[in-house]
Amino acid sequence: VSEVGDSGLSVYERLIGEDRVSGRLYTDPAVFEREMERIHHRGWMFVGHESELAEPGEFVTRRLGRQPVLLTRDDTGVVRLWSNRCPHRGATVCALDQGQTRFFRCPYHAWTFDNAGALVALPGEEGFGPTFDRDMHGLAPVPRMDTYRGFVFGSWSHEGQTLLEHLGDARNLIDRACDVSPVGEISLRAGWLRHRIGANWKMAAENVCDFYHPPITHGSSGLMGGVPPGYFSDAYGGLTRDLGGGHGEVDYRHTEGGSQTGLGPHGFIFPNLFIEASSIFVIQPVSVGEMTHLQTPITWVGLPEEMQRPQSRRFAMAFGAAGVIEPDDAATWERMQLGLQAGEPEWVMLERGVQFDDTREGRALDEIVMRGFWRHYRSLMTDKAAVR
Amino acid sequence: MSGIEELLEQQRVEQLLFLEAQLIDGRRFAEWEALWVADGIYWVPANGDDTDPRRQVSLIYDNRSRMHNRVERYAGGKAISQQPPPRTAHLVSNVTIKPTESDEVVGGDVSLIVHSAVHVAESRPGVRVDWAGRVIHHLVERQGALQIVFKKVMLVDNDQELTTIDFLL
């Protein structure tokens, strides 16, 4: 175990400056372990969308942090979030990514649970004696689950801020994504592309509101022809906004080309959700040097097909492991992961537009959202109340 | 069709598939594009083999202009993920010609349906990946030559997390 993991909380105060962070935060396994404990296995994280479970009995399996979870809609229509783990001996009770079922049966001893999590059958129950209580052996719910406009979030912590408190000003991103639809509803039923990338999860998080990189990283994509000239420059007039709580957005609504790159907002909800105009991305940490980047296109309920089609075409072309945008981001993050193995210089620089930090709003290319991310990250990694 | 004719047709089809593999591995993209008819579709489904590409996400669902955009990007020297370009070797096998009236005809203008299997060995810096899948080609006879109307690559792991695919399958 390295010095970073072992030593006191103040180490993180030193590793995370106002305009720079240590490269070790992307490469040290001990940092990753602490992140899992203090961020992904404690705070609120996006896990799925209610529309993925539109029908009773529909389910999806995901990871919440590193832990396998099962999101279900029971026969009465209630959405629930479980550990995907048999309470008997621990096998996953569901091996599929998604589907529809009334029952989940463990493969080991056939303990069987209904889609409301109750243990409803097990072989040889009488052998467990008269005190055996099925009610004590249902699926274990994830301690907290809550939804906002169909977006389902989970937390492994029994206590802490509410989902609405966690979302804070970032609620507006979800509102705007939904309100593209005339009835205020989105649907995510096209399935997910899951891209495994050899880089630390924070590189994807920071990249969301990095409008400095697109013309360079994505210059080959053929999609730059779709944005107005000079779009990715400060002069064009877009704004980048630190929404607090690690959340942030880039906002072009007030500019001439404001509606040209997609219909919804472009923003990040800490620590794992990226709403990209007409797509949803989830950043899934795997290890200090690996992540999975999940992506799916948004369908807006009630919006005419001809308004949706260009967006779904753009998704199909750009994203996933074989898109023309995503592989260049992935390659860049993988190059960063390699480069940061060099311990000198110590710092990764995030200084662009630091003079606007007081207002939490900068020019389009400023690194203001990244600094907001790190301030929130630092508060979580050094939170003394979180030490157990 | 006589036994000899069947043999010749089998060989002709195999030679086309082998040529396609060699053009891809040799990064001879213009020649690869020339194998296709103007309204060709190149499809790599995700999350299963029999999805609806208009409603479900696919890894690749390219018409000809997108195919062109894709290979232009490979050849253009600007893409970060092509620095250096991945090196690939395609092994094509199990080539079988199916009767056209049999199964999955998408358009009217198809002379031959060909099933095969492909194994692609990919190498790029620090990464060595093996890809495998079943492949369906729809071919059409045009001025005495076979051209590709439709190609569907069903990767065995298309329902799993996948690393970058920045080459032609």
Give how far B55 is from chain A: nearest CA, Å: 6
Give how far A296 is from chain B: nearest CA, Å: 7
pLDDT of residue A226: 76
Chain B hits for A330, CB-CB cut-off 8 Å, are 81, 164
DSSP string, A24-84: GGGT-HHHHHHHIIIIITTS-EEEEEGGGG-STTEEEEEEETTEEEEEEE-TTS-EEEEES
Is the CB of B10 inside 8 Å of chain A's CB atoms? no
Residue located via tokens 């950043």: A283
Short-list B46, B51, B58, CA closest to A312: B58
Query: What is the three-class DSSP state of A107?
Result: coil
Taking an 8 Å cut-off on Cβ atoms, the answer to whether A219 and B78 are in contact is yes
Backbone φ and ψ for B76, nearest 5 degrees, come out as -70, -15
Task: Give the mean pLDDT of chain B.
Answer: 93
Taking an 8 Å cut-off on Cβ atoms, the answer to whether A292 and B161 are in contact is yes
pLDDT of residue A26: 98
pLDDT of residue A1: 38
Is the predicted pLDDT of residue A385 greater than 70, yes or no?
no
For an interface test with B, the pick among A207, A221, A311, A324 (most B C-beta atoms closer than 10 Å) comes out as A324
* Residue A98: its H or E element: strand A98-100
Taking an 8 Å cut-off on Cβ atoms, the answer to whether A321 and B164 are in contact is yes
For an interface test with A, the pick among B161, B167, B168 (most A C-beta atoms closer than 10 Å) comes out as B161
- When CB atoms are compared, the residue of B44, B70, B161 closest to A194 is B161
> Which tokens sit at A356?
């606007």
Question: Residue A69 pairs with which residues in a beta bridge?
Answer: A62, A83
Report the chain B residue with the minimal C-alpha distance to residue A322: B165
Task: Quick: pLDDT tens for A164-198.
Answer: 999 999 999 999 999 999 999 999 999 999 999 99
Question: DSSP class of residue B157?
Answer: T
Cis omega (within 30 of 0) for bond into A265 = no
Give how far A371 is from chain B: nearest CA, Å: 26
- Count of A–B CB contacts within 8 Å? 90
Do the beta carbons of residue A233 and residue A365 sit within 8 Å?
Answer: yes
Task: Quick: pLDDT tens for A223-262.
Answer: 766 788 899 999 999 999 999 999 999 999 999 877 655 6
CA B56 – CA A248 distance, rounded (Å): 29
Report the chain B residue with the minimal C-alpha distance to residue A286: B161
pLDDT of residue B101: 65
Short-list B161, B103, B63, CA closest to A193: B161
Task: Quick: pLDDT tens for A77-106.
Answer: 999 999 999 999 999 999 999 999 999 999
What ipTM describes this predicted complex?
0.94
Is the predicted pLDDT of residue B168 greater than 50, yes or no?
yes
Query: What is the three-class DSSP state of B124?
Result: strand
Chain B hits for A223, CB-CB cut-off 8 Å, are none
- Residues, chain B, total? 169
Task: Quick: pLDDT tens for A26-75.
Answer: 999 999 999 999 999 999 999 999 999 999 999 999 999 999 999 999 99
Give the start-end residues of each E strand in A228-387.
239-244, 247-251, 266-269, 273-276, 279-287, 290-297, 299-300, 347-349, 361-363
